[in-house]
Structure 1
Amino acid sequence: MVPVPAPPAWHKVPPEQVRRFADLAMEQVPDIAGEILRAMRQEFPNLELTTDDMGVPKALLAIRLALESFVSQLTTDIERPRELPEVFREFGRNQALKGRRLDSLQAIYRLNVRLAWRSLAEIGQKVEIPPPAMYELAESAFEYLDELVSHSVHGYAEVAAGRAGERIRRQRLLVDLLLTEHRTDPSGALAERAAAVDWPLPDEVAVAVLLRPAQQVVTPALGDEVLLDMDGEHPRLVLADPDAPGRVERLHRAMGGWSGAIGPAVPVAQAATSLHWAAAAARMIEEGLLPEGRLLRCSEHSEALVLLPAEKLIDDLARRRLAQLTEAGPEQARRLAETLLAWLETQGGAPEVAARLGVHPQTVRNRLRQIRDLWGEDLEDPDRRFELELVLRTRRLRGELADPHA
């Protein structure tokens, strides 16, 4: 047979003793509440107390209500007053509306419980409540405190969530204005919207376009210098003063799991230009033309951003400038093209070109003779050399020619 646990110590106190304790406590509730309010004002001299229509501090009413509810449950099983949670939710809401931290309100609650318990302990001695029962009552008092705090936390969270939502809305309006192409000076409107979200308007910005990862990852935790707009298929962010020491590096560290592209630094009124290049780079990442898996900087891939989108123009130019390779086999054509590009980039002799390609100088000499036979005077024309280098660099970017830097 399983032994039945002994009832809690408070339940062992004779009912008439409990009744005397409750009656005495109820009689003293107004005095206890007044003493607690005086202590609150002394301990927290800057405390602002709101009043009801009769001019009575709402805190005093709340203390009375909380004490009466706690004491009444010692003798009855009635539910706590419905207005009790709402009163303490309002305290939490007011704390948030005044821009104060919730822990200051919790400190006030702890003071209240400590003072209330001191008075209840004195009453317990008067009616000779056994110490074990009073210990249980103290535990119940602090559980009761946790319940009241939870109501205040909910009220605080309601306001905080509303403010966060409003800030997100205002921040989105600022981002939209920043990323719009302007025909007139937008400085006034930008300053107004930036002030609405406490974002110091910088001299320069860089705009990034993000690619959502295949697997779910958390939203990047970014500093105050970053505006983030997570709406849409491709989230956008605006980084203030990107050339400030360590700023881009911190952004990279915060972007774990995300990839995308960050555009060049531009004056704040020209943020749309930075967005243009970031969006172009993001598309090229999706197409496999630029590396994914990190937030790349457009300034480090300017060659690809300029040459690869001009595919049809470059192909047409290549047909005219590389026609000499059509009669060579694919492998021979590739080797000659790589050698020609290395020569154009180094403007050196066979040793320099050979070092760049990783082949023997005599091999390069043989190829250079073939190249001179094929292109002749074109190699002496600066415009032709530029066009040849343009089309050959594009082929290398596409992976058709080996990259000696890889």
Structure 2
Amino acid sequence: MVEYRSFALLASLPRALGACLRPHAAHAAAAMIQETQRAVPAYGQPLKGVFGKVLVRSVEYAVLHCVDSMGAPDLPHEQWIAFYRARGAMEFSEGRNLDALQDTATIGARVAWRAMHPAVVAAGVDPAVISVGAEAIFAYVDELCATAIAGYQQAQTDAEGAVPARRRRLLELIVQAPEGAASSIAELANGAGWPLPETAAMVALERAPEASDFPAELLGGGVLADLDGPEPHLLAVDPDADLAPLAAMPAGWRAAVSPTVPLADAPAALRTARRALQLSGPETPGPVIWCRDHLATLWLLAEDFLAAELARQSLDPFASLSAKQRDRLSETLLAWLETRGGAPEIAQRLGVHPQTVRNRLRQLEELFGDRLKDADDRLGMQLALRAQRLMRAHRPTDN
């Protein structure tokens, strides 16, 4: 805690000394600002906008309060203390370090004394008073700096405690993508000390009922995580590097990693990763599913109702057939669409007799007619059949 010895020293000085120096306060403040901007790179930018107003106000207030404290033991200092604590907190929020504050204090003390000393000498002030005045000014600047540092450190402590909450809120905003959230996302990312990336991958996690808690220590500092919600998930900027430790997940946990996408597409990426978990089933080898290796499957099976509607429209001639007939003709039609080969080639692929294939092809011609000659119709049939095959392959089996 700062003791503020300078206030007592300043109050012990003659009141006339403050009156003598007040006309020179503006000159001293201007000299301090000029030297600070020259010697401290963090403050070297033009005096514009909020930055300029804050720097000028900080220096002018420091000089005037110092002068007004001379010979004034009853002058309150609470507002001054609050101002410079807030000034220190602002330094932290703007990403500057304590070096800039301390350098500014040292420079300010030297420049202020140099600017005001001639006026003190010209006024014939007693050398003993000048000595106390010099001690008071240097103590005042040191304590101003200490007050700002206390504010800086408190803001740093508060921010460190708030970072986990900010990171969770940041992930929530990115995943929800509400209208107009871009500025809030950028602000939260800055407050959480998380450089906002252009792209990222989303990770859907699935926990078996008997699984232990997810070991958060597996995740690097660049990974945003929600491990406590009903649908745990992560965001990784560099998935290959950030998610390599997922191979060591405890038993009962699985993960699906979306492709790397622009940050604005994170909600869709998370839906894709969750869909991959739904389709894979617990028996899928390995604890991590990389969606980039299964894009065609995920695209075809993105929505069950779309696949069903495509099948209804493209394969409607099968509606009147029995299940057994549909299965046989479906595999023959898909083989023909994929190869456009003759009966011998299709027969070899299906493991049946060529004459069987010829009979089925004639049935298909009777069912579909000229639609087999239309490129768009053929594409719809092929996508519908492939989707059906994939859905059967990924359909959970009953125990």
TM-score by length of structure 1 reads: 0.49
- Structure number with higher helix proportion: 2
